[in-house]
A and B are shown apart, each in its own frame.
Chain A
Amino acid sequence: MRIWTLVLLLSVCCPSLAVAQSAVPDTADLYDSWSDRVLQVQVIEKQSQSKSGIGSGFLAGADGLVITNYHVIADLANHAGDYEARYLTANGEQGSLELVNVDVVHDLAVLRSSDLHAAPLAIAEEMPRQGTRLYSMGFPYDIGLTIVEGTYNGLLEKSLFERMHFTGSINPGMSGGPVLNQAGAVIGINVATAGNQVGFLIPAKFASRLLQNSGAEAIDSASLHATISRQLQDNQAHISASLLSADLASTQLRDYRVAGELADWMSCWGNSLQNNTDALKQVYYQCQSQDDIYLSDAFSTGIIRFQHDLISTDSLHPLRFYRQLQERSHYPQLRLEGNQETVSRYHCLSGFVTHAELNFKSTICVRAYRKLSGIYDAYFYLTSLVDDREALQSTLVLAGFSWDNLTRLTEQFVNSVSWQPAQQ
């Protein structure tokens, strides 16, 4: 089970709002009417016959289809032979589940059980108004079915994928559980928490789309990988198109113009460092996309990260200075997950690149995904060869892109670098 945790530095004040609502239903009645359609989803390791992960899910379609989060059943998707899925209802009934479909981009999965015959929960097609009272259900910490009251507080602004902000306690084990309005329609699906009553939901429309595209049969391993490949391809094509459609946003780093906050779903920050123990000064600027796509505990994709380091020295001889830059290159600033099961090793190439009368020493390293054909990760690294005592070192990391888009984005990244001395 995986719960994403965001660290939010907020000064929270809690104005006491006394909003009179007429005809607020009794939560106990709501619990009674929905509890038979909310399940605990268990992923069982076959040899030990013990739970390797738990989450929640709900009946949401004909023929016993169950919606949960992809991250709840990722072990089953990645190692179908080693794991199996089961459900547990609030009143203790158990049965087996089989994987029918996934949407890794939106972190959703569809399971099916032939034993479940309760009426499915309805899925709302429209988003609620901000402030709407909602009810999240699930099995937190494996302690039984729970209903949590909260409010909807709009869509996250800095998110690549639509995410709803739910003010209410979502806890580990509730992932995949439904969030309903008073009428009993599913508005969203629990997916993550930042603690302190800050929770995140997947809009129910994505579950509805996934159900429409799901058959009634269990998906085999090859079809599953083909599905995931297609989803990642579509997602990277969408991201790339939006980034390549215009010049990249840029920012000034002393005398260099470099790629900046490319989109509102990227988060950027910077600082300057002067290490007292050596003669190098560093100004850095770093950006990364906010919503990685979870594929397994050890592997996420759909990532764009980059970092610009402006390194300078007052005292080192140029030969010593560039030797230090070379040493820095051995220790990548940005890292990607991945193991032998998921990706090939990196293959690298170095050479001189000239752009806009600037010379760079560039290195690109590429690795391919093992089960998801046509998808690559790239690690691009450049050092400017302009000044004897100052150099720009930029790193671009792309995870989960087609070769063509990876090439275009890397070229655009370099093309966005220029020498523009700041006006005094």
Chain B
Amino acid sequence: MNDQSLDSARPLGSLEILNRNGQVLHRQVWNGSLVCIGRAHDNELVVVDPYVSPHHLQLSLQDGQPQAQDLDSLNGSYLGSSKSRQSLFPLGDGQTIHFGHSQLRFHSCSAEVAPTLRDTARLGMLSMLGSPWVLIGAAILALLALYASELLEDPGKLTSLGIAEEMSYPLIGITAWAGFWALMNRVLAHRFHFLAHLAIAFAGVAVLFAVAQLITLLGFALGLDNWVWWLRWLARISILGLVVFAHSHYFSQASPRRQALLAGIVALVLFGTPAVGSFIEKTQFSSLPWLDPLLLPPAYQWREGDSMEVFMQRAQSLRADADAGVDGGERD
């Protein structure tokens, strides 16, 4: 399609050719001179559309007002959403003429344009995610976290190779997660930035591990065993929410509030569901007790132990709970 400027005089506005889906195929400045539009190569604006006649429309200025005239085309021209064929019509600012399977739109010079989008991938805190060093740093932290996690789980059975194999499963999951967000980025913002999303995912894993260990440490040191279940799930849901927010904020133009809402919903669905499952398992009837004491080496005990008498006095509350369960409080 021809992209040449029509005149060197002061422009009147711009002309756009759109396809039937509203996607702009061509835009050029218009200074008000006569413009012929059609499929033939001698037109000022050549349209590649088999439903458009060789000489379909012409645009001109009549008393300073843009006007379109149908040149007896085969399929006709239509103003806006009108179904009636017209041969001559004034063309206002922002109005569209349908012809063939294409559209013509005029914007005057004074027409407002949409605000400039902020490129969040290049601006702000998240712009650092484009740096390979951030990716390398996050990857190292995540690998250390996964290695430490596998090492803690293992009772001395696994070799280093075995631990590496165990780590491969979460790594596949992390890669798939980053791939999903890169795909979302591609669909919504036309860019992949897979490595940036991988850096976010790695950072999330590292933070998740670090916070889990911190909760275990504080829970044990201060004897908060009975709160740790809640703290663990709260931390998991919060961190996942932050990770989802970071992924979405990296490419989405939606308001931070809407992104936070989305992140919260995703985190609640992904981690809230297993949390509810775990809670049900913890509180429903079982012939086995739910034993979940935190254990760390003796040096991490910061709180003094109670005497057995005091401990059993605290356990009095269990008696009331069990009696309440018998009296009908528990229906599992």
Report A's interface with B, CB cutoff 8 A. 277-280, 313, 315-316, 318-327, 329-330, 332, 335-340, 344-355, 359-370, 373, 376, 379, 381, 383, 385-388, 403, 407, 410-411, 414-415
**Whole-angstrom CA separation of A27 from B251 in the bound complex:** 98
Q: Are A351 and B321 in touch, CB under 8 angstroms?
A: no
Q: Are A351 and B225 in touch, CB under 8 angstroms?
A: yes
**Whole-angstrom CA separation of A366 from B315 in the bound complex:** 9
Q: Are B318 and A352 in touch, CB under 8 angstroms?
A: no
Q: Are A411 and B308 in touch, CB under 8 angstroms?
A: yes
Chain B residues in 8 Å Cβ range of A349: 226, 314-315, 317-318
Greatest chain A CB density within 10 A among B151, B294, B306, B315 is at B315
Min CB distance, A271 to chain B, in Å?
Answer: 19
Known: A278-B157, A349-B317, A362-B311. A385 touches B301 (CB 8 A): yes
Bitwise interface map of B from 311 to 325 toward A, beta carbon under 8 Å scored 1, else 0: 110110111011101
**Whole-angstrom CA separation of A379 from B293 in the bound complex:** 13
Q: Does more than half of chain B's interface fall in helix, strand or loop, or is it mixed?
A: loop
Q: How many residues of B are in contact with the other chain, CB < 8 A?
A: 49
Q: Are B288 and A347 in touch, CB under 8 angstroms?
A: no
Contact of A322 among B284, B297, B308 (CB under 8 A): B297
Q: Are A323 and B156 in touch, CB under 8 angstroms?
A: no
Q: Are A354 and B292 in touch, CB under 8 angstroms?
A: no
Min CB distance, B291 to chain A, in Å?
Answer: 5
A-B pairs, top 4 by smallest CB distance, nearest first, are A279-B156, A354-B305, A344-B325, A352-B305
Q: Are A279 and B155 in touch, CB under 8 angstroms?
A: yes
23 contacts between A and B (CB under 8 A): A278-B155, A322-B297, A323-B152, A323-B295, A329-B291, A329-B293, A345-B284, A345-B330, A345-B332, A347-B321, A348-B291, A348-B318, A349-B318, A350-B294, A359-B298, A363-B291, A365-B290, A365-B291, A365-B318, A381-B291, A383-B295, A385-B298, A385-B301
Chain A residues in 8 Å Cβ range of B283: 345
Answer yes or no: B286 CB below 8 A from chain A CBs: yes
Q: Are A361 and B304 in touch, CB under 8 angstroms?
A: no
Nearest CB in chain A to that of B156: its residue: A279
Q: Are B155 and A324 in touch, CB under 8 angstroms?
A: yes
Which residues B256-297 have CB closer than 8 A to chain A?
A: 283-297
**Whole-angstrom CA separation of A411 from B314 in the bound complex:** 13
Q: Are A329 and B295 in touch, CB under 8 angstroms?
A: yes
Contact of A352 among B286, B297, B306, B322 (CB under 8 A): B306
Chain A residues in 8 Å Cβ range of B152: 319-320, 323
Nearest CB in chain B to that of A412: its residue: B308
Chain A residues in 8 Å Cβ range of B112: none
Contact of B308 among A385, A387, A414 (CB under 8 A): A414
Q: Are A352 and B303 in touch, CB under 8 angstroms?
A: yes
Q: Are B326 and A330 in touch, CB under 8 angstroms?
A: no
Q: Are A368 and B326 in touch, CB under 8 angstroms?
A: yes
Q: Are A336 and B295 in touch, CB under 8 angstroms?
A: no
Which residues B76-116 have CB closer than 8 A to chain A?
A: none
Min CB distance, A174 to chain B, in Å?
Answer: 31
Which residues B10-68 have CB closer than 8 A to chain A?
A: none
Known: A352-B306, A359-B298. A368 touches B284 (CB 8 A): no
Chain A residues in 8 Å Cβ range of B151: 320
**Whole-angstrom CA separation of A316 from B155 in the bound complex:** 8
**Whole-angstrom CA separation of A193 from B68 in the bound complex:** 109
**Whole-angstrom CA separation of A403 from B317 in the bound complex:** 12
**Whole-angstrom CA separation of A324 from B154 in the bound complex:** 8
Report B's interface with A, CB cutoff 8 A. 151-157, 223, 225-226, 283-299, 301, 303-309, 311-312, 314-315, 317-319, 321-323, 325-326, 330, 332
Contact of A339 among B287, B299, B322 (CB under 8 A): B287
Chain B residues in 8 Å Cβ range of A388: 297-299
**Whole-angstrom CA separation of A332 from B225 in the bound complex:** 18
Greatest chain A CB density within 10 A among B289, B294, B296, B322 is at B289
Min CB distance, B32 to chain A, in Å?
Answer: 79
Min CB distance, B327 to chain A, in Å?
Answer: 9
Q: Are A332 and B288 in touch, CB under 8 angstroms?
A: yes
Q: Are A322 and B296 in touch, CB under 8 angstroms?
A: yes
Min CB distance, B210 to chain A, in Å?
Answer: 15
Q: Are B294 and A326 in touch, CB under 8 angstroms?
A: yes
Chain B residues in 8 Å Cβ range of A350: 223, 225-226, 292-294
**Whole-angstrom CA separation of A355 from B308 in the bound complex:** 7
Contact of B287 among A315, A324, A335, A369 (CB under 8 A): A335
Nearest CB in chain A to that of B311: its residue: A353
Q: Are B326 and A340 in touch, CB under 8 angstroms?
A: no
Greatest chain A CB density within 10 A among B312, B321, B332 is at B312
Q: Are A337 and B287 in touch, CB under 8 angstroms?
A: yes
Min CB distance, A114 to chain B, in Å?
Answer: 37
Q: Are A318 and B297 in touch, CB under 8 angstroms?
A: yes
Min CB distance, A236 to chain B, in Å?
Answer: 15
Chain B residues in 8 Å Cβ range of A362: 293, 311
**Whole-angstrom CA separation of A407 from B315 in the bound complex:** 9
**Whole-angstrom CA separation of A367 from B284 in the bound complex:** 13
- Given A350-B294, A351-B305: 7 more A-B contacts, CB < 8 Å: A320-B156, A332-B289, A350-B292, A352-B306, A363-B225, A379-B289, A414-B308
Min CB distance, A227 to chain B, in Å?
Answer: 19
Min CB distance, A307 to chain B, in Å?
Answer: 14
Q: Are A351 and B154 in touch, CB under 8 angstroms?
A: no
**Whole-angstrom CA separation of A383 from B292 in the bound complex:** 12
Chain B residues in 8 Å Cβ range of A352: 223, 301, 303-306
Chain A residues in 8 Å Cβ range of B285: 339-340, 344-345
Q: Are B308 and A415 in touch, CB under 8 angstroms?
A: yes
Chain A residues in 8 Å Cβ range of B287: 335-339
Known: A337-B287, A348-B291, A411-B308. A376 touches B322 (CB 8 A): yes
**Whole-angstrom CA separation of A385 from B295 in the bound complex:** 9
Q: Are B306 and A353 in touch, CB under 8 angstroms?
A: yes
**Whole-angstrom CA separation of A300 from B111 in the bound complex:** 86
Chain A residues in 8 Å Cβ range of B157: 277-278
Chain A residues in 8 Å Cβ range of B298: 359, 385-388
Chain A residues in 8 Å Cβ range of B308: 353, 355, 410-411, 414-415
Q: Are A330 and B292 in touch, CB under 8 angstroms?
A: yes
**Whole-angstrom CA separation of A363 from B315 in the bound complex:** 10
Q: Are A332 and B318 in touch, CB under 8 angstroms?
A: no
Chain A residues in 8 Å Cβ range of B301: 352, 359, 385
